[in-house]
C-alpha cells in the first residue's frame, strides 16, 4: 500500500485499494475502485472521475436498477461573461 500524506496530486491515476490518503487533495484524477478496503483521512476531490470495477461495478449497477442511485446527464458547465462597465 502506498501512503500519500499532505500532497496535492493532479492528473494522476490511482487504484483506491492500493492507497492510503492522509490530508491530501486530488485534482483531475482517475480513481479505480473494485469494492475492497481502503483508507482515507481528510481527502478532497476536485474534478475527479471514479471508475468502478468488479463487485463495486455490480453494486452500482444494482443500485441504479432498483432506483437507489440516479443517473442523469452531466451538468452543463457554467460560463462567466465578464464585461467592462461603461
The residues near 86 (Cβ < 8 Å, ≥ 6 apart) are none
CA dihedral 56, 61, 63, 69 (to 10 degrees): 100
Q: In whole angstroms, what is the distance from residue 76 CA to residue 59 CA?
A: 27
pLDDT given for residue 76 in this prediction: 55
| Binned average pLDDT, 10 residues per bin, the chain of 86 residues | 96 96 97 94 95 92 88 57 51
Q: In whole angstroms, what is the distance from residue 38 CA to residue 55 CA?
A: 14
Question: Which pTM value belongs to this model?
Answer: 0.75
Q: In whole angstroms, what is the distance from residue 5 CA to residue 40 CA?
A: 10
DSSP annotation of 38 reads: -
Domain boundaries, the chain: 2-65
Amino acid at each position: 500500500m502506498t501512503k500519500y500524506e499532505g500532497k496535492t496530486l493532479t492528473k494522476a491515476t490511482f487504484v483506491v485499494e492500493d492507497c492510503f490518503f492522509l490530508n491530501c487533495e486530488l485534482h483531475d484524477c482517475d480513481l479505480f475502485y473494485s469494492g475492497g478496503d481502503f483508507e482515507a483521512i481528510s481527502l478532497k476531490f476536485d474534478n475527479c472521475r471514479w471508475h468502478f470495477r468488479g463487485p463495486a461495478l455490480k453494486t452500482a449497477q444494482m443500485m441504479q436498477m432498483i432506483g437507489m442511485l440516479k443517473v442523469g446527464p452531466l451538468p452543463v458547465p457554467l460560463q462567466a461573461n465578464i464585461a467592462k462597465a461603461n
